[in-house]
Amino acid sequence: MRNLTTTKENSWCPGCGNFGIFNAVKKSIESLVEMGEPMENIVMSSGIGCHGKMFDYLNISGIFGLHGRAMAGASGIKIANPNLKVIVFGGDGDSMGEGLEHTLFAAKRNIDLTMILHNNGVYGLTTGQASPLSLTGYRGLSTPQGNLETPFHTLGLIMEAGASFVARAYSARIPQLSELITQAVLHKGFSFIEVLQPCVSYNNTYDLYNSKTKNLAGIPASDEEAIKLAKDENDIYLGVFRQEQRPVFDQEVQSKARAMDRQERFAYLESRQF
Amino acid sequence: MHRGIFSVLIGGKAGEGVKKAAQVIAQIAMDHDNFIFQADDYQSAIKGAHNFSIVSIAKERLYSAYKRVDLVVSFDKKSVLKHNPALSENGVHFCDEKDSIEGCIGLPLNRLMKEHYTTGANLSLSAVAIFACLAGLPKEELAELIASEFRRNQEENISFAKAVYDEVLALDLALCCDLNNPGVKAPRKGYTGNQLISLGAWAAGLDSYYSYPMTPASSILHFYAKYRDELGVVAIHTESELAAANMAIGAILAGSKAAVGSSGGGVALMQEAFSLAGMVEAPLLVFLSSRPGPATGASTYTAQEDLNFALYQGHGEFPRIVASPDSYERALSLSAELLDIAWETQSPAILLTEKHLSECMYNMDLDASGLPQTEPVMKKPASPYHRYAFTDDGVSPLKYPGERNASAEDVIKWNSNEHTEDGVRADDADEIIAMKDKRKKKQDLINKLSRNYQRVAEYGESELIVFAYGSTVLELREAQKYHDFKLIAPIYLDPFPAEELEKYRGKKAVVVEHSAMPNFSGFLRAKLGIEVIKDVLRYDGRPFDADELVNILKEAKNA
């Protein structure tokens, strides 16, 4: 198997949660390939922010898109070739702010791709402004008096939008994260993993997550139970919150027409009265 | 008849089937080897607002509809009052008896509807029946046509239409539209510009279309969606225009020939993605059908305010192609040409048009002989693969992810950040310069490939030179039947066809365009140094008709 790390010099801060996600993804790709998935079928898409640098360091095909549009680009890739396994990397500013519409619509459509949400609760690369997932009261350059808004509840939102596989992981627990990514990629339909990710420079949450994270006993029996556990602030639950099957958009939307080359299309154009 | 052309106007409330009635009348005319041009004037409303459609019918090719009409059918009082003044000297105007005014024939349309329908009454059939009677179409032919064109309530439709026909017959009016056109075989099908744009790109291999509805571009989305399982184009109504453009670029990465389309407002939302297409070198085809702006503007009318917007689409510097069809035939061929040039040069392209061409109907035969006959030249990728490999002409070979196209060793990276040959982010000054130079080089290839096609159309011969582009050319070609001038229509706008137009440098000319702040005129002055003797500007959202243009151009000549 080819080396999954590019030669690009790494510029994440030492201790950044992105390293954990990077290592977990590489492990997942290795195990997917071992399970028989051709390496050339694995494609990534990322937005703009610290998470986006994954594109420069991870040696797989894909697109380093515009801020907020990683999911839109990935959706086009998947619709164009449903055989591909598409992993979308998004930051909390990128995918829950600028590009929230695409995240929700991917869940609504149940398009068969995997989103890894790097939730560090802050805009890291632009030096620490409040993100859509920052806590009320968070002080950053754009909210020096404290964030007035309440954060989105990521998992509740994505479950309500219709995601068919929903999980949460912690960037410092690499084996569990890697296992969840593999499961998510193999899931038929839209899969979403919220990864709790400390930002050592602007929002260091290692102590919080080390003390409060706890594994789910199993997939919750109902949506109500899943959402209740996902919103629990005393125990921060990790694991799979929902896994269900429903029709997959990128399969359903395909044309049933046979492929025609240019000369066939020309002949058809002239003979067919539209 | 006005100028030997018979024009029918049908007016009524939105939801009354005005446009459908006009289409059926146009079909009757085409079925008898006549040429037609249908223009629909409607407002942004589902029910109630005033709509009207004009069908002009002629023995020879028609490029536009006429505002002086020979038959008016009004479905309400508002239409009666609004359109009575448009009647030609020997014209006839019909309406319901309760709405009648002097010079307008009242028919018991509402009474007949009550008599012939138990449910689903369709007033629009009365217009078809009136026309059929005055054009001498046998009643049984009318019945057959109604049965095939209106699927619901067939029996009641036919009995209502026959009753209206009999009422008109009893008036013993002279036949006013002679449908016979001996010796001529006119095309039997009418197409809107949007249908031709859709078919042109499809013929050149379009695989997918991503769009959010916006008048007057929506019918492209509707067309591809309707024919998905026949033509093989995947049509996606996306959550927004931003989604459409970014999804299309993703699809292109995976090897799908993709296009997007909207009007000015929607394309404005695609600007950042258009710039992304420039950066990642995605051959994104954009259909931009204009309406009056700014902002929401006048959503159902025509305009040419977006020329500069199209030419300067997207932030940052990168080559692109912008062209505008000057005819219905060109809408078909240009759409194919632009998809091909975009793919061969891996550059975004814009097909700029207007509501007038997008939505008006014109009869023609679908003929592929004017389309690019061969596939665009695609370079063979080398191994190891580098997405942005430097080459002589700036175009790097394309390879698509997936086991059918790539090997396990291939890494295909498209990057919105400035990048190196392998698609990884670049920050070094030398790397930035090298990649900018690579993209810049593609301009020469774009120029070269555009010369494979007709870049300027010229019509007529005269001392008087008139410049126009887009569907304004259609309006002027109709006016040329009555007044001599030389009409010059650039089709390609970027690259600017300088070689073809050089002979007009510094010449005196009239410029006709649908804008208030003459942007096409300014563009020609800057590119060609022409001396504009008159800017003919129309910015009320309505098309010119031939009579209006003839009067304006006569004045211009005397000035």
| Mean pLDDT on A184-198 | 98
Facing residue for B403 by CB, picked from A38, A60, A270: A38
| Mean pLDDT on A13-22 | 97
Facing residue for B232 by CB, picked from A41, A43, A259: A259
- pLDDT higher than threshold 80 for residue A84: yes
**Nearest to residue B342, comparing CAs of B480, B427, B489, B445?**
B445
Compute the count of residue pairs across chains A and B with CB atoms less than 8 Å apart.
Answer: 198
Handedness of CA A36, A38, A41, A44 (dihedral sign): positive
B190-370 and B456-558 have identical folds: yes
* Region of residue B8 (phi > 0: left; psi between -120 and 50: alpha; otherwise: beta): beta
Contact B255 A266 (CB under 8 A): no
Contacts of A102 in chain B (CB under 8 A): 239, 243, 246
Contacts of B367 in chain A (CB under 8 A): 270
Instruction: Tell me the nearest-neighbour CA distance from B256 into chain A, angstroms.
Output: 6
Question: Which B residues, 54 through 113, put their C-beta within 8 Å of a C-beta on chain A?
Answer: none
Q: Best residue in B404, B413, B415 to probe A by mutation, most A CBs within 10 Å?
A: B413
Instruction: Tell me the nearest-neighbour CA distance from A69 into chain B, angstroms.
Output: 7
Contacts of A56 in chain B (CB under 8 A): 424-425
Question: Which residue is closest to A33 within chain B, CA to CA?
Answer: B408
Q: What is the CATH number of the domain that holds A62?
A: 3.40.50.970
Domain membership flag for residue A4: no
Facing residue for B246 by CB, picked from A61, A69, A78: A69
Question: Which residue is closest to B332 within chain A, CA to CA?
Answer: A269
**Nearest to residue B439, comparing CAs of B246, B279, B274, B272?**
B279
Facing residue for B413 by CB, picked from A61, A78, A265: A61
Contact A64 B367 (CB under 8 A): no
Question: Which residue is closest to A63 within chain B, CA to CA?
Answer: B414
Fold of B190-370: Rossmann fold (3.40.50)
pLDDT attached to residue B558: 61
Burial class (CB in 10 A: 0-12, 13-18, 19+), B557: middle
In whole angstroms, give the CA distance from residue B558 to residue B551.
Answer: 11
Residue ranges per structural domain of chain B: 6-170, 190-370, 456-558
> Is the CB of residue B556 less than 8 Å away from at least one CB of chain A?
no
Facing residue for A61 by CB, picked from B210, B231, B401: B401
Question: Which residue is closest to A74 within chain B, CA to CA?
Answer: B250
Facing residue for A256 by CB, picked from B229, B254, B425: B229
In whole angstroms, give the CA distance from residue B550 to residue B481.
Answer: 9
Residue B81 tokens read as 């009052």
Facing residue for B280 by CB, picked from A38, A63, A74: A63
Domain membership flag for residue A97: yes
In whole angstroms, give the CA distance from residue B476 to residue B467.
Answer: 10
Number of domains chain A is built from: 1
> Is the CB of residue B456 less than 8 Å away from at least one CB of chain A?
no
Facing residue for B401 by CB, picked from A43, A105, A274: A43
Tell me the three state secondary structure of residue A28. Answer: helix
Contact B402 A101 (CB under 8 A): no
> Is the CB of residue B375 less than 8 Å away from at least one CB of chain A?
yes
Q: How confident is the model at residue A209 (pLDDT cuts 50, 70, 90)?
A: very high
**How is chain A split among helix, strand and coil, in percent rounded to 5?**
40, 20, 40
> Is the CB of residue B258 less than 8 Å away from at least one CB of chain A?
yes
| CATH number for the segment(s) B6-170 | 3.40.920.10
In whole angstroms, give the CA distance from residue B238 to residue B220.
Answer: 14
Facing residue for A73 by CB, picked from B191, B249, B411: B249
For chain B, 559 residues long, give each residue's pLDDT as a single digit of tens.
778 899 999 999 999 999 999 999 999 999 999 999 999 999 888 888 999 999 999 999 999 999 999 999 999 999 999 999 999 998 999 999 999 999 999 999 999 999 999 998 999 999 999 999 999 999 999 999 999 999 999 999 999 999 999 999 999 998 889 999 999 999 999 999 999 999 999 999 999 999 999 999 999 999 999 999 999 999 999 999 999 999 999 999 999 999 999 999 999 999 999 999 999 999 999 999 999 999 999 999 999 999 999 999 999 999 999 999 999 999 999 999 999 999 999 999 999 999 999 999 999 999 999 999 999 999 999 999 999 999 999 999 999 999 999 999 999 999 999 999 999 999 999 999 999 999 999 999 999 999 999 999 999 999 999 999 999 999 999 999 999 999 999 999 999 999 999 999 999 999 999 999 999 999 999 999 999 999 999 999 999 999 999 999 998 876 5
Contact A77 B401 (CB under 8 A): yes
pLDDT attached to residue B559: 57
Contact A79 B368 (CB under 8 A): no
Decide: A203 and A121 in contact? Cβ < 8 Å. Answer: yes
Contact A6 B424 (CB under 8 A): yes
Q: Who contacts B339 (Cβ-Cβ below 8 Å, separation ≥6)?
A: B201, B204, B205, B206, B257, B259, B283, B285, B349
Instruction: Tell me the nearest-neighbour CA distance from A107 into chain B, angstroms.
Output: 12
| CATH number for the segment(s) B456-558 | 3.40.50.920
Instruction: Tell me the nearest-neighbour CA distance from A64 into chain B, angstroms.
Output: 5
Entry field: residues in chain A: 274
Contact A101 B240 (CB under 8 A): yes
> Is the CB of residue B203 less than 8 Å away from at least one CB of chain A?
yes
Q: Is the pTM of this model over 0.95?
A: yes
Give strand pairing partners of A46.
A64, A89
Contact B416 A60 (CB under 8 A): no
Decide: A209 and A170 in contact? Cβ < 8 Å. Answer: yes
Domain that holds residue A92: 17-271
In whole angstroms, give the CA distance from residue B41 to residue B107.
Answer: 25
In whole angstroms, give the CA distance from residue A35 to residue B50.
Answer: 64
Contacts of A62 in chain B (CB under 8 A): 253, 401, 412-414
In whole angstroms, give the CA distance from residue B41 to residue B301.
Answer: 8
In whole angstroms, give the CA distance from residue A108 to residue A162.
Answer: 5
ipTM here: 0.98
Is the omega angle on the peptide bond into residue B495 within 30 degrees of 0, that is, cis? yes
pLDDT attached to residue B270: 98
Question: Which residue is closest to B255 within chain A, CA to CA?
Answer: A80
pLDDT attached to residue A37: 97
Contacts of A269 in chain B (CB under 8 A): 199, 202-203, 366, 368
Facing residue for A269 by CB, picked from B199, B238, B402: B199
Condensed to tens digits (0 to 9), the pLDDT of residues A53-72 reads 999 999 999 999 999 999 99
Instruction: Tell me the nearest-neighbour CA distance from B400 into chain A, angstroms.
Output: 9
pLDDT attached to residue B47: 83
Q: How confident is the model at residue A1 (pLDDT cuts 50, 70, 90)?
A: confident
